[in-house]
């Protein structure tokens, strides 16, 4: 029993080691920003769009359709979200943004499923098309409206609303402020306990209703994909469509459903950027988050909670570089130690060359850390991407891809 | 009589082939009925018809004494017919349980009911004494276990008639025993089993009744007790004797290819072939006979270096070529006609000129001073092949896919013979092509042989094998069991050795 626990901890060292390291480094005065509630709160806001795009990728790829058009569907989400938000109100904007993404998901499904277009080709086309369509629509829809330009929409009307939990995080009840339990603990500065309180407070205070809605999709996806007949059929067509067809599964329909849901979730991701974020549509607002969503899907090994973790990691790194460039410097020593652990692990597995490479890189980061006060600004902006890349490259060895992913399926053809 | 399936005069033809011709077969309830025949005898077509995957052109089918007119597998399943395919229809990354219940419920949003199904499936498993861990991922199962999952899947859907397509082809001997034990259990519980195979030993071990098919016709249905292996082999292979034209030249004495006790096994430990030795002499056609799947394909692949060998040596023109790459072997004078021309021999979306260069781009005459191909020589060469082998094509620019099967094959044979190789390996050189192309290829092979070429001929067509070869060696279960001179061998003899009857 204890051995099992130990083994499962060891297997998850990729996730656990960095967390521990962050906690330890955060105890130093100059890096204390690493684990404040403010950092975590920002991390959640930054992580949600990526998580939604990742979940979108999940629905599509589980049914066997590669979806690199997530970015494009997200762009549609931002524009339709802004248009709906401006014309009808915030929640209506969310819904319309989802519809816009779903529409492009449907286009991807028609191309890849019915016409057997190569999935990558169709995805690239979606990305190019979406950027153009968004601009086109923006010019048409907001032609004579104040504060709008060809690349930006006017501000949305209405507000989505925010929640701060009373008593635990100091939310208001009947207009009166209540106690802030976790805030109090966070201020005590106790090792681990205060850091943890910071994390919880990030989730409980000043959180948008849309964030709660988005987070609810994670367990919902587990239920739908793994515990309902339709989920089983969707997963089966990504694995072995010929077999599914022989058991009476409507392969095409399942793929259509998967890819369309994928588009709707990407659309929601885009709408989130507008409605819970900037309040207006801006060209290029998605900034490649659709692709990072794909990365978080791989990081999460095609599991909803894994995707949550992956996007959380990216959001955390992103929040850090925005709020506290100085704390980013602390990441250097974290990377150095992480690589050192990895070097030991590969050494035990008798993989000498990877071990040596990890060791050299580890020393490199350590020397850099010791000989510098801060990280050049250019690198700070790059932090989220490089963090994601490093973690992804060390964790992707056991990814369970759907068996027939990216393979066009033709009805009645045995393969 | 108590019949599970009764077919009356079923016929089915595909363009150019009569796959089933007036097949009438009666299959008794709660029995194991084997259908045997060589590849291409029409077994698979008959099965597809019984499972509703294709419709017969004419004829009637009765299932449990009711006329049945099936147009999809779903209807077959509703009538109680289930099929276990040779290639398992299982999703690797799903659990056994998920694979079994897939498609039973409509695609809806409700609880999947894994627990309920698990209990139901366990009941079915205990009824038929089948055992499997339902929570395992299919990926982690052995081949035999995967097959058991397929059987459970079909039974769970209420199948009373089970069609097994070449079920033992992928199994190791222990798994075959396990399967036979399970099948007997099923039979005792009232399940009817249709067992398709070309392995006579197994058929005689397991089946109650045996039907033999050949070239689309049902030759006979017999009771197991009333038939010997020899009789079955004769029925399966037929008796028509070829008339080989006398040859005027002599086989020379020097060995072109000399194989010394080579052995090879697959990754999962199944032996492809063991301790195989033979030689091919200059100006000789050596035929290799064997029921498909007895190691001959792998031996050929190891000669050209696609298949690794564990031990033994291969000599070509007196030189050990064990450590040479496939390209070096081909360049040193081995030519190869693969058994599947569309998959291995040609690139169907390229024109004939490009197809002539494939694999030969390093030959001197195609090399230019720059690192490019001398396309002029290639065009000349393909024109040469077209005229010598009477390939019917508008020009050398035609795509390979636009040619008929016979013309494609003539082009491949011509290409392989063009550079005066010293050894030609011809694997099924005339499979599935028209008689005209067939006789032309035979003629060209004889001509080249008379001019000194050593030919290794692998063919399932015994007529072709006896007619062309000077000597024949027989493969059975991965070993050479017999060497025969083609002058005094009958197809029945050959069939006997091929099926392990004679030793």
A258-to-A67, A113, A215 alpha-carbon distances in Å: 11, 11, 19
* Distance from the B93 Cα atom to the nearest Cα atom in chain A, whole angstroms: 7
Average pLDDT over residues B206-228: 89
**Where are the alpha helices (H) located in B38-165, listed in sequence order?**
43-50, 73-78, 96-101, 114-127, 143-156
The span from the CA of A179 to the CA of A166, in Å, is 7
A315 and A189 in contact (C-beta within 8 Å)?
no
Q: Which of A309, A289, A329 is nearest to A391 (CA)?
A: A309
Q: What pLDDT is stored for residue B81 in this prediction?
A: 92
In the predicted model, is pLDDT for residue B498 greater than 80? yes
Return mean pLDDT, chain A: 86
Q: Check if B3-237 and B254-333+422-503 are the same fold.
A: yes
Of the pLDDT bands very low, low, confident and very high (cuts 50, 70, 90), residue A2 is low
Contact B91 A228 (CB under 8 A): no
The half-sphere exposure of B109 on its side-chain side, counting CA atoms within 13 A, is 6
For residue A84, give the 3-state DSSP assignment.
helix
- DSSP label at B18? E
Nearest to B339 by CA among B37, B39, B18, B45: B39
Angstrom distance (rounded) from CA B106 to CA B111: 12
Q: Provide the pLDDT confidence category of residue B40 given band limits of 50, 70 and 90.
A: low
Contacts of A243 in chain B (CB under 8 A): 88-91, 102
pLDDT band at A415 (very low <50, low <70, confident <90, very high): very low
What distance in Å separates residue B144's CA from the closest CA in chain A? 18
Q: Decide if B74 and A233 are in contact by the 8 Å CB cutoff.
A: no
% of residues, chain A, pLDDT over 70: 93
Domain ranges of chain B: 3-237, 254-333+422-503, 346-420
So where are chain A's domains?
Answer: 36-164+206-324
| Distance between CA atoms of residues B444 and B388, nearest Å | 10
DSSP letter at B372?
S
Quick check: B89 and A253 CB within 8 A? no
- Of B182, B70, B38, residue with least CA distance to B124: B182
Instruction: Say which CATH superfamily domain B254-333+422-503 falls into.
Output: P-loop containing nucleotide triphosphate hydrolases (3.40.50.300)
The partner residues of B3 in beta bridges, in order of sequence, read B28
Q: Work out whether strand B471-476 and strand B479-485 pair parallel, antiparallel, or are unpaired.
A: antiparallel
Average pLDDT, stretch B83-87? 85
Q: Where in B140-226 does DSSP place strands (E)? A: 161-165, 192-197, 209-214, 217-223
**Cα A326–chain centre separation:** 24
The answer to whether the Cβ–Cβ distance between A227 and B111 falls below 8 Å is yes
CATH class of B3-237: alpha beta
Kindly indicate the confidence band of residue A15, based on its pLDDT and cuts at 50, 70 and 90.
low
pLDDT digits (tens, 9 = 90+) for B174-185: 788 889 999 999
- C-alpha span between B174 and A21 (Å, rounded): 53
Distance CA B75, CA B83 (A): 12
Q: A361 — phi, psi (to 5°)?
A: -60, -40
Contact A229, B103 (CB under 8 A): no
* CA dihedral sign, ordered A245, A248, A253, A259: negative
| Statement: residue B79 has pLDDT above 50 | yes
CB A278: neighbour CB atoms within 10 A?
A: 16
Question: Could B98 and A232 be called an inter-chain contact, meaning their C-beta atoms sit closer than 8 Å?
Answer: yes
Question: Is residue A176 left, alpha or beta, with left meaning phi > 0 and alpha meaning psi from -120 to 50?
Answer: beta
Residues in chain A: 415
Distance between CA atoms of B83 and A352, rounded to whole angstroms?
A: 50
* Higher per-residue confidence, A38 vs A285: A285
CA distance B354 to A277: 58
Return the C-alpha torsion angle B485, B487, B490, B495, nearest 10: 20
Report chain B's C-alpha Rg in angstroms: 25
Cα A85 from Cα A341, distance rounded (Å):
49
Is the Cβ pair B94, A236 closer than 8 Å?
Answer: yes
B376-390 average pLDDT score: 90
Q: How far is CA A133 from CA A52, A78, A113, A130, A262, in A?
A: 22, 12, 23, 5, 19
B93 with A402: Cβ contact below 8 A: yes
Q: What is the distance between the alpha carbons of residues B243 and B74, in angstroms, rounded to a whole number?
A: 49
Average pLDDT over residues A137-163: 85
**Strands, sheet with B217-223, edge to edge from the N-terminal-most edge strand:** B81-84, B161-165, B192-197, B32-36, B209-214, B217-223
Residues 6 or more apart from B293 whose CB is under 8 A from it? Answer: B169
> pLDDT at position B242, please?
45
Rounded Cα distance between B81 and B7, Å, is 14
pLDDT confidence band for B241 (50 / 70 / 90): very low
CB atoms within 10 A of CB B376: 11
Confidence (pLDDT) at A136: 93
Maximal CA-CA distance, chain A: 69
Q: How confident is the model at residue A354 (pLDDT cuts 50, 70, 90)?
A: confident
Question: Sorting pLDDT into bands at 50, 70 and 90, what band is A73?
Answer: very high
Q: Is B91 on the interface with A (CB under 8 A)?
A: yes
B13, pLDDT greater than 50: yes
Give A-chain residues touching B73 at CB under 8 angstroms.
246
Taking the Cβ of residue A2 and every Cβ of chain B, the question of whether any pair is shorter than 8 Å is answered with no
Closest by alpha carbon to B59, among B26, B19, B23, B35? B23
Residue A380 scores a pLDDT above 60? yes
pLDDT at A307: 92
- Fold of the domain spanning A36-164+206-324: ABC transporter involved in vitamin B12 uptake, BtuC (1.10.3470)
The H or E element that residue B311 is part of is strand B311-316
The percent of residues above 90 in pLDDT, for chain B, comes to 36
Query: B371 versus A279: which is more confidently predicted?
Result: A279
Residue-wise over A129-142: b if at least 16 C-beta within 10 A, else e? bbbebbeebbeebb
Q: Distance between CA A357 and CA A375 in Å, rounded?
A: 23
What CA–CA distance (Å, rounded) separates B258 from A166? 88
B457 strand-pairing partners: B287, B426
Q: What is the mean pLDDT of chain B?
A: 86
DSSP three-state, residue B9: strand
pLDDT tops 90 at residue B192: yes
CB atoms within 10 A of CB A375: 20
Query: What is the reported pLDDT for B182?
Result: 92
Task: Return the bridge partners of B11, or none.
Answer: B58
HSE-CB for A30 with a 13 A CA cutoff: 8
- Say if CB B9 and CB B59 are below 8 A apart: yes
Q: Which residue, among B100, B102, B140, would best test binding to A if mutated, counting the most A CBs under 10 Å from its CB?
A: B102
DSSP characters over B32-44: EEEEE--TTSSHH
Which comes out higher in pLDDT, residue B7 or B199?
Answer: B7
- pLDDT(B118) > 50: yes
Beta bridge partners of B67: B62
Residues 232-271 of A with CB under 8 A from B: 232-236, 239-240, 242-244, 246-250, 253-254
Give how far A354 is from chain B: nearest CA, Å. 27
**In chain A, count of helices (H) and strands (E)?**
17, 4
- What H or E segment, with its residue span, contains residue B436? helix B435-450
DSSP letter string over B476-488? ETTEEEEEEEGGG
B470 to chain A nearest CA, in Å? 39
Chain segment A243-289, per-residue pLDDT in tens: 888 888 899 999 999 999 999 999 999 999 999 988 899 999 998 99
For residue A257, give the chain B residue with the closest CA. Answer: B107
């Amino acid at each position: 029993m204890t051995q099992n626990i130990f083994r499962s901890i060891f297997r998850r060292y990729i996730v656990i080691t960095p967390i521990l390291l962050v906690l330890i480094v955060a105890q130093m005065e100059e890096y204390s920003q690493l684990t404040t509630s403010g950092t975590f709160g920002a991390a959640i806001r930054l992580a949600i769009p990526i998580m939604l795009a990742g979940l979108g990728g999940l629905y599509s790829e589980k049914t066997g359709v590669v979806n690199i058009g997530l970015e494009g569907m997200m762009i549609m989400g931002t524009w339709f979200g802004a248009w709906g938000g401006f014309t009808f109100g915030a929640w209506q904007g969310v819904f319309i943004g989802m519809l816009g993404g779903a529409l492009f998901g449907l286009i991807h499904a028609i191309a890849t499923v019915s016409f057997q277009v190569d999935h990558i080709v169709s995805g690239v086309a979606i990305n190019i098309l979406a950027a153009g369509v968004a601009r086109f629509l923006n010019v048409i829809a907001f032609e004579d409206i104040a504060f709008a330009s060809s690349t930006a929409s006017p501000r949305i009307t209405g507000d989505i609303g925010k929640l701060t939990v009373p008593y635990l995080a100091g939310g208001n009840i009947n207009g009166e402020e209540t106690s802030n339990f976790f805030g109090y603990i966070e201020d005590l500065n106790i090792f681990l306990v205060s850091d943890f309180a910071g994390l919880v407070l990030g989730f409980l205070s000043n959180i948008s209703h849309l964030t709660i809605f988005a987070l609810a999709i994670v367990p919902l996806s587990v239920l739908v994909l793994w515990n309902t007949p339709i989920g089983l059929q969707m997963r089966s067509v990504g694995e072995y469509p010929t077999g599914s067809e022989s058991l009476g599964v409507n392969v095409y329909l399942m793929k259509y459903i998967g890819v369309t849901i994928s588009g709707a979730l990407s659309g929601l991701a885009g709408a989130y950027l507008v409605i819970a974020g900037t309040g207006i549509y801006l060209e290029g607002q998605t900034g490649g988050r659709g692709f990072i969503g794909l990365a978080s899907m791989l990081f999460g090994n095609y599991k909803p909670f894994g995707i949550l973790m992956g996007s959380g990691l990216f959001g955390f790194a992103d929040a850090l570089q925005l709020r506290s460039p100085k704390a980013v410097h602390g990441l250097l020593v974290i990377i150095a130690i992480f690589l050192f652990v990895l070097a030991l692990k590969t050494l035990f597995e008798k993989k000498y060359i990877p071990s040596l490479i990890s060791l050299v890189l580890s020393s490199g980061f350590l020397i850099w850390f010791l000989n510098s006060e801060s990280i050049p600004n250019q690198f700070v902006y790059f932090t989220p991407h490089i963090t994601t890349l490093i973690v992804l490259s060390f964790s992707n060895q056991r990814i369970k891809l759907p068996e027939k992913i990216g393979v066009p399926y033709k009805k009645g053809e045995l393969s | 009589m108590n019949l599970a399936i009764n077919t009356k005069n079923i016929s089915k033809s595909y363009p150019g082939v009569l796959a089933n011709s007036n097949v009438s077969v009666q299959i008794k309830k709660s029995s194991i009925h084997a259908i045997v025949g060589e590849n291409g005898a029409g077994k698979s077509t008959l099965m597809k018809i019984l499972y509703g995957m294709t419709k017969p052109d004419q004829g009637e089918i009765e299932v449990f004494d009711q006329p049945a007119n099936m147009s999809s597998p779903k209807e077959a399943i509703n009538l109680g017919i289930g099929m276990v395919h040779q290639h398992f229809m299982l999703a690797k990354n799903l659990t056994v349980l998920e694979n079994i219940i897939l498609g039973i419920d409509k695609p809806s949003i409700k609880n999947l009911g894994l627990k309920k199904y698990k209990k139901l499936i366990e009941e079915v498993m205990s009824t038929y004494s089948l055992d499997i861990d339902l929570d395992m991922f299919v990926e982690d199962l052995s081949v035999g276990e995967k097959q058991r999952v397929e059987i459970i899947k079909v039974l769970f859907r209420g199948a009373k008639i089970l069609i097994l397509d070449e079920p033992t082809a992928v199994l190791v001997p222990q798994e075959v025993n396990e399967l036979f034990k399970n099948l007997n259990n099923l039979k005792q519980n009232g399940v009817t089993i249709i067992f398709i195979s070309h392995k006579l030993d197994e058929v005689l071990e397991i089946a109650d009744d045996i039907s033999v098919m050949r070239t689309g016709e049902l030759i006979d249905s017999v009771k197991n007790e009333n038939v010997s292996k020899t009789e079955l082999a004769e029925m399966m292979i037929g008796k028509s004797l070829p008339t080989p034209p006398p040859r005027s030249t002599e086989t020379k004495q020097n060995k072109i290819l000399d194989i010394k006790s080579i052995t090879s096994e697959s990754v999962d430990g199944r032996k492809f072939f063991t301790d195989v030795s033979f030689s091919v002499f200059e100006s000789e056609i050596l035929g290799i006979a064997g029921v498909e799947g007895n190691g001959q394909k792998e031996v050929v692949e190891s000669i050209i270096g696609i298949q690794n060998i564990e031990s033994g040596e291969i000599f070509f023109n007196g030189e050990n070529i064990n450590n040479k790459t496939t390209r070096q072997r081909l360049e040193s004078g081995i030519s190869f006609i693969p058994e599947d021309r569309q998959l291995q021999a040609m690139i169907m979306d390229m024109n004939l000129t490009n197809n002539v260069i494939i694999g030969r781009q390093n030959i001197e005459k195609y090399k230019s001073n720059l690192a490019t191909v001398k396309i002029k020589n290639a065009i000349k060469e393909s024109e040469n092949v077209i005229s010598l082998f009477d390939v019917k094509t508008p020009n050398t620019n035609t795509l390979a896919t636009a040619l008929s099967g016979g013309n494609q094959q003539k082009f491949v044979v011509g290409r392989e013979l063009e550079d005066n190789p010293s050894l030609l390996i011809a694997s099924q050189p005339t499979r599935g092509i028209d008689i005209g192309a067939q006789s032309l290829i035979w003629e060209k092979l004889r001509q080249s042989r008379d001019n000194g070429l050593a030919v290794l001929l692998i063919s399932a067509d015994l007529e072709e094998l006896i007619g062309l070869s000077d000597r024949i060696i027989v493969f059975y279960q991965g070993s050479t069991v017999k060497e025969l001179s083609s002058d005094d061998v009958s197809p029945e003899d050959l069939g006997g050795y091929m099926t392990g009857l004679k030793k």
